Amino acid sequence: MVAFADVVAASAAAGFAAAAFLPLSKHVSRKTGCVGLDVHKTPSYPVPKLGGLSIVAGTYFGVGVLSIALNQTAFVAAFYLSTLVAAVIGLFEDFRELNPVLKPLLLTAAGLPVVLAGVYTPTPVIPFVGSTRLTVIYPLLILLGYAVVCNAVNSIDVLNGSMSYTSLCVLIPLSIVSFLEGRIEVLSICIVLAVSLAVFLTQNSFPAKVFAGNVGSLFVGAVLTFIAITGRIEAVAIVALMPQIMNEFHIIYSLRGFKSAKSSSARPVILNSSIIKANVERDAPITLLRMLAADEGVTEKQAVARLTLISLYSAVLSLVTYFFLMKGV
């Protein structure tokens, strides 16, 4: 049984590990040439993009401390293996772009440890329907869930701090519902990830000194998916993640399939001095940022603030969904 002291110790371990790995991730990024241009600055400049390794390290160290109290070998092993698969895929893509069709297929593999370890309950609670029994199809939905959520979190990571702030918003309802449902092990992972993201934000907030990279965003997506599945709060997570999911599906729709954004000749937004404006070209991909930058445009800080507010709104809606349509089912 996880005690309050265990959560505090795990959070401290996560914070220290994330803080220690932040400068190391910058050093590794520069040494390997893994840097990305901050294209929403004038002029643009290179930024180390393996900062997500600090999120991975912080979360892993925190869960490592928790594992002593959890005494659930299958649960912990499934967590480490599923998130590691996503992180490795992301790390590979940080150095070499993956085929946009192959990437989601590879990400389904992140769900295999959860399926094989059997750390899920194939009876998700669906609003307006209630508790369901999806014994046959649920394992397939797990694989699909990892591909969708990891890509969705990845797609929102376009501005300084955007992925981290919006992910923290998602963790609020997941933490509250996990606590109310008595799933303390899931709540503990929520807290550990939140601490790791908070430490990372000290260097990722505007103006960012480090990016999360694909390794960071895909890892965060995998952790959120694991929390939703093992906590049996899938519907809450889907509503809370709606901005990220809709952003990803808008991109797929506007590009007419699974294609790299680089395949489009037009960017979704253009930079005019420090103002981000929507690209009016018809072929420009449709993204949440492009919608926010319509009319007079926004600064990067304004765009991140609005993305965060939208995520907070979805977080509130997810709690409304839980309290009025799921609680007690």
What secondary structure letter does DSSP report for 312? H
Same domain, 104 and 227: yes
Q: Give the type of residue at 89.
A: I
DSSP codes of every residue in 193-214: HHHHHHHHHHHHSSSPSS--HH
Residues 221, 151 contacting (CB under 8 angstroms): yes
- Tell me, what's the pLDDT at 273? 86
Question: How many residues are recorded in the chain?
Answer: 329
Specify the 3-state DSSP secondary structure of 141: helix
Decide the pairing of beta strands 269-272 and 275-278.
Answer: antiparallel
The rounded distance, in Å, linking the Cα atoms of 246 and 76 is: 31
Tell me the pLDDT band of 1, cut-offs 50, 70 and 90: confident
Question: Can you tell me the mean pLDDT for 283-312?
Answer: 95
pLDDT above 70 coverage of the chain, percent: 98
Q: Does residue 261 carry a pLDDT above 70?
A: no
Same domain, 296 and 155: no
- Angle, CA 270 vertex, CA 265 and CA 273 arms, to 5°: 145
Same domain, 211 and 222: yes
- Tell me, what's the pLDDT at 195? 98
Q: Which domain holds residue 51?
A: 4-255+304-325
Question: Can you tell me the mean pLDDT for 222-237?
Answer: 97
Q: Which of 266 and 40 is assigned the larger pLDDT?
A: 40
Same domain, 308 and 184: yes
Q: Does residue 263 carry a pLDDT above 70?
A: no
Q: Phi, psi at residue 50, to the nearest 5°?
A: -110, 25
Same domain, 265 and 120: no
Residues 159, 189 contacting (CB under 8 angstroms): no
pLDDT above 90 coverage of the chain, percent: 85
What b/e sequence results for 92-103 when a residue is b if at least 16 CB atoms lie within 10 Å of its CB, and e otherwise? ebbeeebebeeb
Q: Does residue 313 carry a pLDDT above 80?
A: yes
Same domain, 91 and 240: yes
Question: Can you tell me the mean pLDDT for 272-300?
Answer: 92
Tell me the pLDDT band of 264, cut-offs 50, 70 and 90: low
Q: Does residue 329 carry a pLDDT above 70?
A: no
Q: Does residue 306 carry a pLDDT above 90?
A: yes
Residues 288, 268 contacting (CB under 8 angstroms): no
Tell me the pLDDT band of 75, cut-offs 50, 70 and 90: very high
Helices (H) and strands (E) in the chain, counts: 13, 6
Same domain, 23 and 144: yes
Percentages helix, strand, coil for the chain (3-state, rounded to 5) are 65, 5, 30
Question: What's the structural domain count of the chain?
Answer: 2
Same domain, 242 and 283: no
Q: Which of 260 and 141 is assigned the larger pLDDT?
A: 141
- Tell me, what's the pLDDT at 128? 84
Q: Does residue 265 carry a pLDDT above 80?
A: no
Same domain, 151 and 27: yes
The rounded distance, in Å, linking the Cα atoms of 203 and 25 is: 11
Same domain, 249 and 270: no
Q: Which of 260 and 177 is assigned the larger pLDDT?
A: 177
Same domain, 64 and 188: yes
Same domain, 251 and 182: yes
Which whole-number Å values give the CA distances from 302 to 275, 289, 297, 299, 308, in the listed order?
10, 11, 10, 5, 10
The rounded distance, in Å, linking the Cα atoms of 53 and 200 is: 10
Residues 313, 170 contacting (CB under 8 angstroms): no
The residue among 16, 2, 5 whose CA lies nearest residue 195 is: 16
Q: Does residue 180 carry a pLDDT above 90?
A: yes
